[in-house]
Structure 1
Amino acid sequence: MAAVRKLQLCAVSPTGKHSASVIFLHGSGDTGQGVRAWVRDVMVPDLAFTHIRVIYPTAPARPYTPMRGALSNVWFDRHKISRDCPEHLESIDAMCSTLGTIIQDEVNAGVPKHRMIIGGFSMGGAMALHLACRFHPDVAGVFALSSFLNKDSVAFQAVEDRARAGLSLPELFQCHGTSDDLVLHQWGQDTSTLLKKVGMSTTFHSFPGLYHQLCQPEMELLHSWIFSRLPPIAS
């Protein structure tokens, strides 16, 4: 079996004792450093905590079909940008395995999975949903910003199977701007509706006039939600 490739990371360390972790995945064509800088510009003072480490990995460059095979920093390949086409499961599952090493590194550092949240922007949010719903459903939560899953995503079936078996599922926090391109807001809202229908606890926030981008009110809501899911541990 080929060795799992280590990803480049940048991180914001807690100012106090590290007792929880957030993994924040960038959108297609970006980097961990890029989305970290974007968050810092949008969020005042920052998406930072006294007890939570926020990790920003960078996806490796790979040929990306919607760009006619040009190299791009993407978490997985797509046949095309559409919710109606099949998912590129080979690349999705391979990246879930790679990102799983980051989760394991945090476990090795003493942070249990129920003290972790996985999320991301755009493609990063879709990647986070696959990672949390299918492979690491014991994390505390998952967030998806300006993101959607394909209509027949295997993640929906994974959630439904766990719900029917009475097994725990992470809570979903989702945000989307109403002015996003190509009806992406509707696709994001449909993702939230379908996940709720099959048994997941979901929250969906719409931001009027927001395009495919982050904004301060959205990040403030995310900060509060993360803190509620991963509160400090009493000493």
Structure 2
Amino acid sequence: MTQQLLPCVEINPTAAPDACVIWLHGLGDSGHGFAPIVPELKLPESLSVKFLFPHAPERPITINNGMRMRAWYDIKSLDFESRADLEGVKASAEQVEQLIEAQIESGIPSERIILAGFSQGGVIALHLAPRFAHKLAGVLALSTYMCEPSLLSNEAKDINRDTPIMMAHGEQDEVVPVFMGNAAFKTLSECGFNATWQTYTMQHNVCMQELNDISAWLQTRLK
């Protein structure tokens, strides 16, 4: 039985949308956190892009003494090999997959859908996109890492191997160290995915130069 779709902050263009960006937030944030960047991207109205910023469910987070907060998965330790709870990642990836399928059913082709994620949201994007059954327009993976990278080579599907994956990371990131993001980039590249890697002089956040680069990348992907 199909579960209820994730609630989202939805930002629509003036004309009927023919493309969609689904943007997943980080730990303890909500869909409202990244919604204000849409005007900052300064996308031309001719693109007619809908933005969806889903809210992750609330769950107890082990490293935060079991405090409940919005999260795509539990973090049981800060150990680099097992930071992301695989079962939680799989469950959230399934929920996001249903959200993408709903956009396809609404008339937006999968090739006009971009999956974006910051930090925890990026983990979900990097887990789902290589395993997704439909062709996507692109993937944005910001200040993030990969859950169980050793599984990718056996589980990856071919359909999105040439789909552009833009990875960006802050050189001074103390939450997700830059080497974790770079390791994910290398895993994708070794598995034949079309990933690019860019670092910025920033911490665990988004900077204006990065937003400008994301805007240019989105316009290239969705033109």
TM-score by length of 2: 0.89
Identical residues among aligned pairs (%): 29
Aligned residue type for 2:183: D
Cα distance in 1, alignment partners of residues 154 and 218 from structure 2: 26
> Counterpart in 2 of 1:204?
197
The change in CA–CA distance for 1:12 and 1:80 in structure 2 (over 3 A counts) is: same
Correspondence 1:184-195 to 2 at 5 A = 184-195=177-188
Q: How many residues align?
A: 221
Q: Is the 8 A contact 1:87 1:153 kept in 2?
A: no
Cα distance in 1, alignment partners of residues 44 and 59 from structure 2: 31
The change in CA–CA distance for 1:183 and 1:142 in structure 2 (over 3 A counts) is: closer
Cα distance in 2, alignment partners of residues 57 and 47 from structure 1: 21
Cα distance in 2, alignment partners of residues 137 and 196 from structure 1: 20
Cα distance in 2, alignment partners of residues 202 and 45 from structure 1: 21
Cα distance in 2, alignment partners of residues 192 and 7 from structure 1: 28
Q: Is the 8 A contact 1:174 1:205 kept in 2?
A: yes
> Counterpart in 2 of 1:14?
13
The change in CA–CA distance for 1:45 and 1:101 in structure 2 (over 3 A counts) is: closer
Cα distance in 2, alignment partners of residues 16 and 226 from structure 1: 18
Deviation at 1:151, TM superposition (A): 5.6
Q: Is the 8 A contact 2:25 2:121 kept in 1?
A: yes
> Counterpart in 1 of 2:107?
110
The change in CA–CA distance for 1:155 and 1:202 in structure 2 (over 3 A counts) is: same
- 2:212 counterpart of 1:216: no
Q: Is the 8 A contact 1:148 1:184 kept in 2?
A: no
- 2:75 counterpart of 1:75: no
> Counterpart in 1 of 2:40?
44
Deviation at 1:207, TM superposition (A): 0.7
Cα distance in 2, alignment partners of residues 21 and 148 from structure 1: 23
Q: Give the aligned CA root-mean-square deviation in angstroms.
A: 2.2
The change in CA–CA distance for 1:147 and 1:48 in structure 2 (over 3 A counts) is: farther
Cα distance in 2, alignment partners of residues 156 and 206 from structure 1: 25
Q: Is the 8 A contact 1:4 1:97 kept in 2?
A: no
Cα distance in 2, alignment partners of residues 218 and 68 from structure 1: 33
> Counterpart in 1 of 2:93?
96
Deviation at 1:150, TM superposition (A): 3.9
Deviation at 1:201, TM superposition (A): 0.7
Structure 1 residue runs without a partner (length 5+): none
Structure 2 residue runs without a partner (length 5+): none
